[in-house]
Amino acid sequence: MVSFSQLTYAQRGKEHPHPLARELFAVMERKRSNLSLAADVATKAELLALADSVGPYICVLKTHIDVIADFDADLVAQLQALAKKHDFLIFEDRKFADIGNTVKLQYGGGVYRIADWAHITNCHVIPGEGIIQGLAEVGAPKGRGLLLLAEMSSKGMLATGAYTDKNVEMALANDFVIGFIGSRRFTEERDLITMTPGVGLHASGDALGQQYRTPEMIVTENGSDIIIVGRGIYGPGKDVVAEAQRYRDAGWAAYENRLK
């Protein structure tokens, strides 16, 4: 059996059973991009400006909507317009971690109403399989998709071994799950997408334990599908457009090398 990581994004999109995964693969092919921007900024103006500048070069915009100090409904409307303008999906990095009934309320309601506008969200499976079922009750009718946090990119993270294996087991049993946050391909039983944070053009780290790996390590060697980059693109003194182009090109080159 040929590994899913040896197939093109177009081939995987054509055969994938989940409509949102098919849409994501199609975006990646159209834009020749497997880059997701981690837009960890604190104001509406910053988020919209960053999304508009980098939008042409990414396949996914990853947000932390609860850190936006001046959040309002207009921000959501403008983000949706930018996603349409620049052809990217929105991933709200909410990391849900409560029981099923509670996450239903958090995902579908509250101030942010995440399920109404975020194509993708994610969760920890610490509470058990009920968290996936609760999120699916809200998101599946809206055509949304879920990522499980099989691993994280910070030093000393506890998502390893049997816990990671349990993520894979739950993903295979739930159609609402389209993939994982992690550093590698986790299974060949089903085509589950891996998105990887902590990617930099040079392997390094920061003072708070973040560990950076290169696109070649993550995509070519480990079989991950999408690289997530934040401060490497918009950190102090950065030309955000030039850096987004560099990371897009590096991520795509790593993908093409994987296919050889």
Catalytic residues: 95
Please, which residues have CB within 8 angstroms of residue 237's CB and are 6 or more apart in sequence? none
**Among 201, 189, 195, which residue's Cα sits nearest to residue 222?**
195
What are the φ and ψ backbone dihedral angles of 152, each rounded to 5 degrees? -130, 170
Q: Scanning the structure block, which residue is given the tokens 């620049």?
A: 86
Please, which residues have CB within 8 angstroms of residue 58's CB and are 6 or more apart in sequence? 31, 33, 35, 36, 37, 86, 88, 244, 248
CB 95 within 8 A of CB 67: no
